[in-house]
């Protein structure tokens, strides 16, 4: 039994010679929130074929009553894209008009503005390095 306790204590201690590196921060500043109701949904994505309809890597939902609307993600260095929409009526989904045109404000990283179809990941991608990054997304 003492041997088992010794093993457990050895594996539970952190190794001071190799501290775990902190992940860089990605900060997202959402601009042009026009009404102070509902919630702003900020999705962080890795490359996927059906962006922005694929599952986000992480989703942060922020009450739109407070200003400014900012989110922070702890990420590994790499390529990402961000999609944001303001759920003004608080129903938990992006309301759309005929032909799937969004009724509620939305935006993408790189301030990409789609014309006839949803953007591709490559339109909105950006790199996060070891030093982190801050991006701005303006809602339309």
Per-residue pLDDT tens digits for 43-71: 999 999 999 999 999 999 999 997 799 99
Q: What are phi and psi of 30, to 5 degrees?
A: -95, 125
Higher pLDDT, 8 or 104: 104
Cα Rg, the chain, nearest whole Å: 20
At 42, is the secondary structure helix, strand, or coil?
A: strand
**Contact between residue 40 and residue 88 where contact means Cβ atoms under 8 Å apart:** no
Residue 36 CA to residue 47 CA, distance in Å, equals 32
Residue 126 has pLDDT above 60, yes or no: yes
pLDDT of residue 15: 52
pLDDT of residue 10: 39
Q: How far is CA 101 from CA 21, 41, 67, 113, 118, in A?
A: 43, 18, 27, 13, 10
pLDDT of residue 1: 47
pLDDT of residue 8: 42
**Contact between residue 98 and residue 85 where contact means Cβ atoms under 8 Å apart:** no
What is the dotted CATH code of the domain comprising 21-138?
A: 2.60.40
pLDDT of residue 50: 94
Residue 3 has pLDDT above 50, yes or no: no
Q: Please report, for the chain, the start and end positions of each structural domain, with discontinuous segments joined by +.
A: 21-138
**Contact between residue 70 and residue 27 where contact means Cβ atoms under 8 Å apart:** yes
**Contact between residue 73 and residue 28 where contact means Cβ atoms under 8 Å apart:** yes
Give me 95's structure tokens. 């309301």
**Contact between residue 29 and residue 136 where contact means Cβ atoms under 8 Å apart:** yes
Residue 116 CA to residue 41 CA, distance in Å, equals 23
pTM of the model: 0.83
pLDDT of residue 115: 82
């Amino acid at each position: 039994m003492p041997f088992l306790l010794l093993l457990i204590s050895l594996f539970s201690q952190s190794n001071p010679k190799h501290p775990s590196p902190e992940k860089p921060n990605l900060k997202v500043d959402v601009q042009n929130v026009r009404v102070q109701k509902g919630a702003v949904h900020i999705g962080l994505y890795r490359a996927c074929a059906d962006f922005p309809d694929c599952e986000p890597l992480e989703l942060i939902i922020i009450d739109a009553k407070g200003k400014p609307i900012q989110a922070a993600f702890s990420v590994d260095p790499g390529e990402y894209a961000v999609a944001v929409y303001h759920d003004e009526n608080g129903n938990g989904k992006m309301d759309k008009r005929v032909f799937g045109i969004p009724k509620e404000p939305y935006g993408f990283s790189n301030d990409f503005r789609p014309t006839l179809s949803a953007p591709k990941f490559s339109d909105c991608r950006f790199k996060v390095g070891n030093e982190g990054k801050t991006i701005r997304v303006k809602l339309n």
